[in-house]
Chain A
Amino acid sequence: MALNRRSFLTFAAGGVAGTLFTPVIWKSIDDSAIWTQNWPWIPRLEYGPRAYAATTCKLCPAGCGLNIRTAGGRPVAAEGRTDHPLSQGGICPLGAAAVQLLYAPARIKGPMQKQADGSHQPISWDEAEALLQEKLAEQKGRKDAVVCVSGDENGTINELFSALLGGLGSDGCFLMPGEQLVASKILREGSIGYDLENADFVLAFGADMLDSWGTAVRNKKAYGAAHPVGEEASAEYVYVGPTQNVTGGAADQWIAITPGMEGVLALGIAYHLLQGGMSAPQAHDFFAYRNFVINRYTPDYVERLTGVAPEQVAELARKLRTANKPLIIPGSTIAQGGGVFSFAAALSLNMLFDNVNSVGGIQVLPDLPKVVEGAKAQAQIRAKDLVAYVQGVADGKVSKPGVYLVYEANPLFALPQPDVAAKAFDGSYLVSFSTFYDETAVQADLLLPTPTFIERFDDVQTPYGSGFASYSLTRPVIRQPIFDTKPTGDVLLGVAKALDIDLGYDSFDKVLEAKVAALSELEGFFTDKVQPWEARAGKVPAAASGNLWRNISRGSFWASIQEPFPTAMQLGSTIISQTAPPDAEDWTFPVSLAAMDSRTYGSRHIAIPPFCLPLLGEQEIQGDVFYVWMNSATARAYGLQAEDKVKLAGPNGSCLAKVRIFEGVGRNMVAAPLGFGHTAWDKFSRNKGDNIYKVLTVRTEPGSNLAVWADSRVRIAKA
């Protein structure tokens, strides 16, 4: 049969019609739709009853209250607790990523021992504890042969470490550096609190209070409450700092200043206040202070050191004077490494306004009672300078300890000049109690992983920056820890017992119970009806009564506004004059380095969590290269343009980065984020950017002998 055009068309049309009538094609389209959307590796959802468990966050020292949302008993999300004064329903990005961190690939899955080839092999808990006991027994009685580095600023666990070390004949219980160290140089007992909620003018010197300083979420809540949407602000916030960071960007005014010169500006303001006739006759050293400030901190001198125009300084003094309840917050931009000078200078302004233990001012907060026999007082632990110690060991001036115990800290990454720390740690037996496989754990001889705060009992006592003394508990949200981990408190108690050191308890839970029982010594209350700042402003709370442990372990927040002891008023003229910065320019390292900390980049002991990665902007990291920020004038001066590769070199280390032009950075300054450049952890945080801690330079502050590094300087050059 001939195939002519007509019969072809008939055939084709018949074919098309036939296809439409057969179900095969429709079925296969449907199948392919189902198939394309049913990839076996896409997880199916698991259903179950929804519930909430109230707990406290331990990822950074801020101590926020978290509600862990569970579905069928599985934790699925972290939310801020509305009934917790330190979170009030808010949360920070790190806390929001807390639940997913439970399953981060960087988790250490069980105890491990380092092998000759440097790898870690799993061992049983019995073997691990026996090994720890053996190593500690070798050091028993040898003076200062065991050193503890704790990254937990406000947990009772430090008492256990300190008592255990005491039993072994050592006094080396250190905290990772933080503001509490500097504060302890000013206040021998108790700690300093800031009554933000009742202040109407907040002047922060350096302290990045809306992101990485102190009780950050509570600070944000106070800031938010003072700036209601659609209404007039009830308080003004001014930030003095080198970069327009989160606090600088959000504050009502940002005053750019050379890093480390915050104290000079504070005394520059004091100059105007004193000239205007302000006095603090209740302070013993007022006249010494007055003479020192008026003679030295003249407007010209202040301008030369800080780069702030004299009119601006005078204007700040005027604003402070006209405010009803001004509050001045001292601090370092990275909440560490600042000196006593800046701190004391800013603090002295509060005293000129008679702000001590007054509503909306600074508060002296009592330390909560100690419960472990033989432990050092918290104030003593806080006052020990880890960086100076590590430097001493590395230089051979201090004898090298036999064993280092590192708990929830990452000193081999997060101490300034980490190579110095590596030198100090080299050759000693290193035990890591870390939850995650961090840089210190990689080097450790023995890994004794502690569960995350979602899997264990722990506590938070008065976080630094809080305006009131407080106590809250962290409690396990799931029945069993996910991995073969053991709470460090229990490990320490077991080892102490085996070493015949009596710490007085069988389990860490009992230590916490004793701590809660000891709270009844102070006038405390639960914050279910009255908030601490309301109580300070005059509202009367009902004293905490009943079964304290039952309430607190179910999530109640205990607070106290009791004033611990009469503090002799001093403006600190002696310490301020002794620690005053040298009046010299460093031409070898001409550029100021403004390090930046942010909860987006994790915290001192947590690397950037997987869920925080999308927060990093295109101008913060590209692939594995991170950015350092400078303003266009600085970039021009060094022949740099946006996206150019640049090398930052300090006296001890250098790092590579790309240039981001950001006008919120001061003159002749480069801003660089801390928290990048991890070499351990998991694929989410490893090999991203470079570690700025390498470039920070430690110097000793004259007068206080404190190690400081917040004012580091660098050389920059096109790479």
Chain B
Amino acid sequence: MVLYLKEFKIKWGMVIDLDRCTGCGACMVACQAENNIAPPVDASNKRYSMTWLLVYQLSNKQPYPNHDVAYMPRPCLQCGKPNCVPVCPVIATDKNQEGGIVSQVNARCIGCRYCMAACPYHARYFNWQDPVWPEGMEKTLTPDVSTRPRGVVEKCLFCHHRYMYARDKARIEGRDPNALNEGDYIPACVEMCPTGAMVFGDLQNPEHKVHKLSKSPYAFRLLERLNTKPQVYYYSKREWVRKQGDNYLEHETVGGV
């Protein structure tokens, strides 16, 4: 039954410093442009809007003046044990390629949305409406990511096409495509972040910064107790942020620190 639980030599992952993220949203716009997501006329209906990466605002819920906020960018967390994969009846989503990125084959998706129901992070989006680009704006579509029709589920793929380009480049330069250096492959959101709050690399490779950061006592993963083993780590020195990120109850202490 656990055929999909494959182990990978390379695990691409992120560490996002929530103390450093200012919540500006440059990553969200960069993601939209990179992945050909059509602009919505009314984005206020969040159930129907499409944002592969979403920046949430966290609050320590203290009254003024002791209030504190943190911003949490949430891409697809690329779980080590993804809930979305076993429920897909047509194997449109899978985690099988070296790198450990959960794939999504748009052309195979039948829109049943089981994966959305299974994902505890709301990282998957259903294309409720036809994607419409204003006249001419379709010229700004990048050739890297196919456009998706209405009726399929979409999600963040860590800009997988950039991974392919980085591997191709390594091959051309005579390097091992399975031993990319830090910085060879970076998703659009990480590259554009103006404060450098997002760090990207191979979680298994000790030479990459994320490897060490993910082991920091301040690092945590969302809803860790569900054991989905996300490849996105968050980092915060503030205890209340870690508590909320991991859904700790009032009386519980945060693990690690």
Contact A229 B24 (CB under 8 A): no
Partner of B192, one of A91, A230, A247, A623: A91
Q: Knowing A37-B149, A229-B15, say if A79 contacts B216 (CB, 8 Å).
A: no
The total of chain A residues at the interface (CB under 8 A) is 82
Partner of A250, one of B20, B33, B62: B20
Query: CB-CB < 8 A to A91: which residues of B?
Result: 26, 30, 192, 194
- In Å, the complex CA distance between A90 and B20 comes to 14
Chain B: which residue is nearest A75 at the CB level? B140
Partner of A42, one of B15, B23, B147, B194: B147
Partner of A224, one of B20, B32, B188: B20
Q: Knowing A614-B51, A616-B44, say if A97 contacts B33 (CB, 8 Å).
A: yes
Partner of B65, one of A69, A74, A666, A682: A666
A515 within 8 A of B: no
B143 within 8 A of A: yes
Task: Tell me which of A100-108, A343-351, A577-585 binds B.
Answer: A100-108
- In Å, the complex CA distance between A684 and B34 comes to 20
B41 within 8 A of A: yes
Contact A45 B19 (CB under 8 A): no
- In Å, the complex CA distance between A615 and B54 comes to 8
Contact A599 B134 (CB under 8 A): no
Per-residue contact bits, chain B 179-208, to A (CB 8 Å; 1 contact, 0 not): 000000000100111111101000000000
Q: Within the complex, what minimum Cβ distance (angstroms) separates A207 from chain B? A: 14
Chain B: which residue is nearest A71 at the CB level? B143
Give chain A interface residues in 422-443, CB to chain B under 8 Å.
none
Q: Within the complex, what minimum Cβ distance (angstroms) separates B2 from chain A? A: 30
Contact B71 A618 (CB under 8 A): no
- In Å, the complex CA distance between A77 and B30 comes to 8
Partner of B130, one of A42, A663, A664: A42
B83 within 8 A of A: no
- In Å, the complex CA distance between A74 and B166 comes to 22
A357 within 8 A of B: no
- In Å, the complex CA distance between A682 and B133 comes to 13
Query: CB-CB < 8 A to B194: which residues of A?
Result: 80, 87, 90-92, 216-217, 220-221, 224
B178 within 8 A of A: no
Q: Knowing A78-B33, A103-B139, A614-B51, say if A93 contacts B130 (CB, 8 Å).
A: no
- In Å, the complex CA distance between A48 and B144 comes to 11
Q: How many B residues are at the interface, by size bracket?
A: 35 or more
Q: Within the complex, what minimum Cβ distance (angstroms) separates B20 from chain A? A: 5
Query: CB-CB < 8 A to A47: which residues of B?
Result: 143
Partner of A90, one of B63, B132, B195, B212: B195
- In Å, the complex CA distance between A102 and B142 comes to 15
- In Å, the complex CA distance between A426 and B12 comes to 60
Q: Knowing A80-B192, A93-B29, A246-B24, say if A100 contacts B67 (CB, 8 Å).
A: no
Contact B195 A221 (CB under 8 A): yes
A612 within 8 A of B: yes
Query: CB-CB < 8 A to B232: which residues of A?
Result: none
Query: CB-CB < 8 A to B51: which residues of A?
Result: 614
A238 within 8 A of B: no
Q: Within the complex, what minimum Cβ distance (angstroms) separates A202 from chain B? A: 14
Chain A: which residue is nearest B19 at the CB level? A227
Q: Within the complex, what minimum Cβ distance (angstroms) separates A46 from chain B? A: 7
Q: Within the complex, what minimum Cβ distance (angstroms) separates B45 from chain A? A: 8
A621 within 8 A of B: yes
Contact B69 A244 (CB under 8 A): yes
Per-residue contact bits, chain A 600-624, to B (CB 8 Å; 1 contact, 0 not): 1000000000111111111001110
- In Å, the complex CA distance between A61 and B208 comes to 37
Chain B: which residue is nearest A617 at the CB level? B57
Query: CB-CB < 8 A to A72: which residues of B?
Result: 143
A545 within 8 A of B: no
Q: Within the complex, what minimum Cβ distance (angstroms) separates B154 from chain A? A: 13
Contact B136 A103 (CB under 8 A): yes
A631 within 8 A of B: yes
Partner of A76, one of B20, B43, B130, B141: B141
Contact B44 A74 (CB under 8 A): no
A633 within 8 A of B: yes
B224 within 8 A of A: no
A99 within 8 A of B: yes
Q: Knowing A96-B30, A211-B24, A250-B20, say if A623 contacts B44 (CB, 8 Å).
A: yes
Contact B63 A229 (CB under 8 A): no
Contact B22 A211 (CB under 8 A): yes
- The residue in A47, A224, A684 that gathers the most chain B C-beta atoms within 10 A of its C-beta is A224
A547 within 8 A of B: no
Q: Within the complex, what minimum Cβ distance (angstroms) separates B15 from chain A? A: 7
Contact B49 A482 (CB under 8 A): no
- The residue in B61, B147, B213 that gathers the most chain A C-beta atoms within 10 A of its C-beta is B147
Query: CB-CB < 8 A to B195: which residues of A?
Result: 90, 210, 220-221, 223-224, 227, 250
A256 within 8 A of B: yes
Give chain B interface residues in 9-28, CB to chain A under 8 Å.
15, 17, 19-26, 28
Contact A229 B197 (CB under 8 A): yes
Query: CB-CB < 8 A to A221: which residues of B?
Result: 194-196
Chain B: which residue is nearest A221 at the CB level? B194
Contact B24 A105 (CB under 8 A): no
A486 within 8 A of B: no
Partner of B143, one of A46, A100, A229, A256: A46
Query: CB-CB < 8 A to B40: which residues of A?
Result: 613-614
Contact B141 A614 (CB under 8 A): no
Give chain A interface residues in 174-211, CB to chain B under 8 Å.
210-211
Q: Knowing A90-B26, A622-B44, A663-B59, say if A45 contacts B141 (CB, 8 Å).
A: yes
Q: Within the complex, what minimum Cβ distance (angstroms) separates B8 from chain A? A: 24
B177 within 8 A of A: no
Contact A43 B20 (CB under 8 A): no
Q: Within the complex, what minimum Cβ distance (angstroms) separates B195 from chain A? A: 4
Query: CB-CB < 8 A to B143: which residues of A?
Result: 45-48, 50, 71-72, 76
- In Å, the complex CA distance between A622 and B203 comes to 40
Q: Within the complex, what minimum Cβ distance (angstroms) separates A292 from chain B? A: 29
Query: CB-CB < 8 A to A613: which residues of B?
Result: 39-43
Q: Within the complex, what minimum Cβ distance (angstroms) separates A581 from chain B? A: 22
Chain B: which residue is nearest A250 at the CB level? B22
A21 within 8 A of B: no
- In Å, the complex CA distance between A46 and B147 comes to 11
Query: CB-CB < 8 A to A664: which residues of B?
Result: 59, 64, 67, 69
Query: CB-CB < 8 A to A216: which residues of B?
Result: 194
Query: CB-CB < 8 A to B21: which residues of A?
Result: 250
Query: CB-CB < 8 A to B42: which residues of A?
Result: 613, 623
A632 within 8 A of B: yes
- In Å, the complex CA distance between A89 and B26 comes to 12
Chain B: which residue is nearest A107 at the CB level? B136
Q: Knowing A39-B150, A102-B140, say if A96 contacts B26 (CB, 8 Å).
A: yes
Give chain B interface residues in 80-136, CB to chain A under 8 Å.
107, 130-136
- In Å, the complex CA distance between A663 and B66 comes to 8
A249 within 8 A of B: yes
Contact B24 A92 (CB under 8 A): yes
Partner of A103, one of B28, B49, B134: B134
A284 within 8 A of B: no
Contact B199 A611 (CB under 8 A): no
Query: CB-CB < 8 A to A39: which residues of B?
Result: 130, 149-150
- In Å, the complex CA distance between A80 and B24 comes to 15
Please name 19 pairs of A and B residues whose Cβ atoms are closer than 8 Å in the assembled complex, sorted by A. Answer: A39-B150, A42-B131, A42-B148, A44-B147, A76-B33, A76-B142, A80-B192, A95-B26, A100-B33, A105-B135, A221-B195, A227-B19, A229-B199, A250-B22, A256-B65, A613-B43, A614-B32, A614-B49, A633-B64
Contacts A50-B143, A249-B69 supplied; 19 other A-B pairs, CB < 8 Å: A77-B30, A91-B194, A93-B26, A103-B140, A105-B135, A216-B194, A220-B24, A220-B194, A246-B22, A256-B65, A482-B136, A611-B32, A611-B33, A615-B28, A616-B43, A623-B45, A663-B59, A664-B69, A684-B41
**CB within 8 Å of A: which residues of B?**
15, 17, 19-26, 28-30, 32-34, 36, 39-46, 49-51, 55, 57, 59, 61-65, 67-71, 107, 130-143, 146-152, 188, 191-197, 199, 209, 212-213, 216, 218, 235
